[in-house]
């Protein structure tokens, strides 16, 4: 199994514990989806390529229930994590770029190598990923990580199937039941309040 998968599972809360026959797991290319029996869904995307040993992943989580937001985290991993971490300050910033447009800074914590996304950054990702998206992390104009969009549309299209069997389906999924195209997948992900 790929190293990035093993490292990115640190981002995925132990969904296997809560996973039941009524839950869902789906993987396509560089993306995975795990929905538990409560209706909470987590979509994870991985970097297709390592950059100087670094790889990046993103986790998007939508808790079950009405009016829940999509939250996001980025995680960095390195083939030689201990050596790479020694050279970093306790907190460091990377710039998020989506389709060659700056989407703001991400503050990573050295200990976990995780950064929380703002709601504006999550919205920008949700808007871009179902189409062809270039998602990059840069520091001082140096590329530190890439998250692939390959498989994102398929994962987002699978989300309505996860919610359709639940009476408390979340609003971002419920209106998507007839989704059959990339454009419908894009519309499915927009948070409804």
Higher local confidence (pLDDT), 184 or 36: 36
Higher local confidence (pLDDT), 182 or 112: 112
| pLDDT tens digits for range 5-37 | 444 444 454 344 344 467 889 999 999 999 988
At residue 94, the pLDDT reads 96
- Mean pLDDT value across residues 157-166: 58
Residue 29, token pair as written in the block: 């290319």
| pLDDT tens digits for range 82-134 | 777 788 899 999 999 999 999 999 999 999 999 999 999 999 999 999 888 99
End-to-end Cα distance, the chain: 39
Q: How far apart are CA 155 and CA 41, in angstroms?
A: 11
Contacts of 14 (CB under 8 A, 6+ apart): none
Confidence check: pLDDT of 182 > 90 = no
For the chain, strand residue ranges (E) read 24-28, 31-35, 41-46, 54-62, 70-78, 91-98, 101-109, 114-116, 135-139, 142-147
pLDDT averaged over every residue in the chain: 77
Q: Does domain 3-189 have CATH number 2.60.40?
A: yes
Cα–Cα nearest to 172, from 150, 149, 193, 191: 191
Taken in order 182, 184, 190, 191, is the CA torsion positive or negative? negative
At residue 117, the pLDDT reads 98
Confidence check: pLDDT of 146 > 80 = yes
At residue 187, the pLDDT reads 54
- Mean pLDDT value across residues 136-151: 93
At residue 167, the pLDDT reads 37
Confidence of residue 193 (pLDDT cuts 50, 70, 90): very low
pTM of this structure: 0.77
């Amino acid at each position: 199994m790929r190293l990035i998968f093993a490292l990115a599972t640190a981002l995925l809360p132990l969904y296997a514990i809560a996973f039941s026959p009524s839950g869902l797991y789906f993987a396509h290319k560089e993306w995975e989806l795990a929905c538990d029996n409560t209706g909470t869904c987590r979509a994870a995307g991985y970097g297709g390529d390592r950059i100087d040993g670094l790889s990046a992943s993103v986790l998007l989580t939508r808790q079950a229930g009405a009016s829940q937001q999509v939250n996001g985290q980025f995680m960095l991993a390195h083939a030689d994590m201990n050596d790479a971490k020694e050279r970093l300050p306790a907190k460091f910033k990377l710039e998020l770029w989506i389709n060659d447009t700056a989407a703001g800074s991400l503050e990573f914590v050295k200990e976990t190598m995780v950064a929380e996304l703002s709601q504006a950054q999550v919205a920008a990702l949700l808007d871009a990923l179902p189409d062809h998206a270039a998602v990059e992390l840069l520091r001082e104009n140096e590329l530190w990580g890439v998250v692939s969009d390959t498989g994102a549309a398929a994962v987002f299209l699978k989300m309505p199937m996860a919610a359709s069997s639940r009476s408390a389906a979340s609003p971002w999924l419920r209106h998507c039941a007839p989704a059959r195209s990339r454009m419908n997948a894009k519309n499915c992900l927009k948070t409804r309040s």
